[in-house]
Amino acid sequence: MALQLYDKQFDSRLLLGTAAYPNPEVLRAAVRKAQPAMITVALRRQTASSAEHGRGLWGLLQELALPILPNTAGCLSVEEAVTTAQMAREVFETDWIKLELIGDDDTLQPDVFQLVQAADILIKAGFKVLPYCTEDLIVCRRLLDVGCQALMPWAAPIGTGLGPVHEYALHVLRERLPDIPLLVDAGLGLPSHAAKVMEWGFDGVLLNTAVSRSGYPVMMAEAFAQAVNAGRLAYEAEPVVPRHNAQASTPQIGQPFWHYPEYE
């Protein structure tokens, strides 16, 4: 099944960031290997860069011809985030926005109180908001209450590569919001991390540092793309339930295969 976010369907369940690659050629090759659903761009970081760099990135984005998801990285207040989102809509001609509103410089943890306020304003202004949030169930419910139709809970602090730190909370979130698209954003470091959260039933992942700062970003982009697909396929295949006691795989002599009428 395709990934459904708001009113749009995507073939891929991987979203890929565009920051911190060694050079544009590596970014181009990594994106082409991964074939992500969307690529993210931080407007504030690009406008702070040189004009030449900005033109080069914009040209590359146009060449890649993939949906762009601008984000509000670096924003510390509701006003900053809303203004940045409005600028991004004009620059990139899209109503999609990844809403980031940071509350702590060391962990880059989202300021969930201001996040809900900003999401409310942007939803009412016609944006399709994908909020970068924690795995807190109550926070996620508040974001849904103001109109967000998909959420992006973190696995661990941005750029750490630790993988899912609070597994219990992520499981609870998935179980309590079964019909809401949940994309794990931030903190994944290995393809196995991505496969794990996809096996748990999460709908997708967003990556940047794990790919862009790896030794071979193009190879890592391909590895993550395969891991996301494998994890989703495993989830849809309905894995066996873990158990503490052994169970023979062939309990009855003469019946090595279970009976599956659909394969007769």
CA distance 114 to 119: 8
CA distance 155 to 133: 10
196 is catalytic: no
Give binding residues as ranges: 159, 186-187, 208-209
Give binding residues for 1-deoxy-D-xylulose 5-phosphate as ranges: 159, 186-187, 208-209
Distances (CA, A) of 255 to 141, 245, 258, 259, 262: 49, 22, 7, 9, 18
Q: Are 125 and 151 in contact (CB under 8 A)?
A: no
CA distance 253 to 192: 37
Rg (CA), the chain: 20
Q: For the residues of 36-75, what is the DSSP string, one character each?
A: -SEEEEEHHHHHHS-HHHHHHHHHHHHHHT--EEEE-TT-
Count of positions (residues) in the chain:
264
> 10 - beta bridge partners?
3
CA distance 141 to 178: 12
* Catalytic-labelled residue, pool 33, 98, 128, 196: 98
Where in the sequence numbering do the catalytic residues fall? 98
